[in-house]
Amino acid sequence: MRRTFVISDIHGEITAFTQLLNQIDYQPGIDQLILLGDYIDRGQDSKAVLDKVMLLHEEGAIVLKGNHEDMMIKAFTSGEERPWRHWVDRNGGNETLRSYGFTEEQYAVSPDISFERPQLASDDLEKHLEFILSLELYKEQDDFIFVHAGVNPETSLHETEERDFLWIRDPFHNGYTGEKKVVFGHTPTKYLYKDDTNHSIYFGSNNIIGIDGGAVYGGQLNCLELPGLIPHTVKIKHDCPVQ
């Protein structure tokens, strides 16, 4: 492999994702692409992003699961109201469902009646759910660990709970002391920098590298090129959506 590219937290921003891949001149079969999750929710076309991610996976990309994909799976498989509302009402699942052509009347649930998950028929949706179920939580290499949210600094990788890989924040950011660099998304880098205007890749002094540029919040979509730790970015031009 000539180069390795790492991208995270696309969140339905298909235009920026396509622009970024073109900008880095990604060549399947020559370069290695690693995607760190959160392909869906809040953005403009989650379905198109998942279509693209599946194609890239078929061409050799390493594709990991994010917490938003996990929320989507739980919403469709638990049979309970809370996971459905947590995803659809609070975390942008409504925008994802709209990208498949569903309307609010089809996916909304009433608090006044007993919960029954909406029956949403879509071959593309079923295909994407099956794909998400197959995704791994992390990828370990000689010098790097790639993961969506981070690792638990108090346990080994093999002992780490799935929730930590998908959701962990401060204990990892502040407590990681491992020798391998951990490249992660999940937490927009403006929070790591403590600067609302700084969406660039975050290089922590404790071998953590955050690449989530908050694209869906009006920031930027970042890419980290290895082995040279070279940043690439596409600025997001549309207005910041409501969180």
Q: Where are the alpha helices (DSSP H) in the chain?
A: 14-24, 46-58, 67-77, 81-88, 93-99, 104-107, 123-133, 162-167, 170-175, 189-193
| Domain that residue 230 falls in | 4-69+131-235
**How many domains are contained in the chain?**
1
Walk along the chain (243 residues) and give the pLDDT tens digit of each residue: 699 999 999 999 999 999 999 999 999 999 999 999 999 999 999 999 999 999 999 999 999 999 999 999 999 999 899 999 999 999 999 999 999 999 999 999 887 688 889 999 899 999 999 999 999 999 999 999 999 999 999 999 999 999 999 999 999 999 999 999 999 999 999 999 999 999 999 999 999 999 999 999 999 999 999 999 999 999 987 544 433
In a domain, 88, yes or no: no
- Predicted confidence at residue 238, as pLDDT, reads 58
- Predicted confidence at residue 219, as pLDDT, reads 97
81/66 Cα distance (integer angstroms): 21
Could you tell me the CATH number of the domain that includes residue 8?
3.60.21.10
In a domain, 78, yes or no: no
151/48 Cα distance (integer angstroms): 29
- Predicted confidence at residue 116, as pLDDT, reads 87
In a domain, 166, yes or no: yes
Cis omega (within 30 of 0) on the bond before 111? no
In a domain, 106, yes or no: no
In a domain, 92, yes or no: no
In a domain, 97, yes or no: no
In a domain, 223, yes or no: yes
- Predicted confidence at residue 113, as pLDDT, reads 80
- Predicted confidence at residue 93, as pLDDT, reads 98
In a domain, 98, yes or no: no
Q: Is 112 exposed, middle or buried (0-12, 13-18, 19+ CB in 10 A)?
A: exposed
- Predicted confidence at residue 156, as pLDDT, reads 95
Token output for 10: 């696309």
DSSP 8-state assignment for residue 216: G
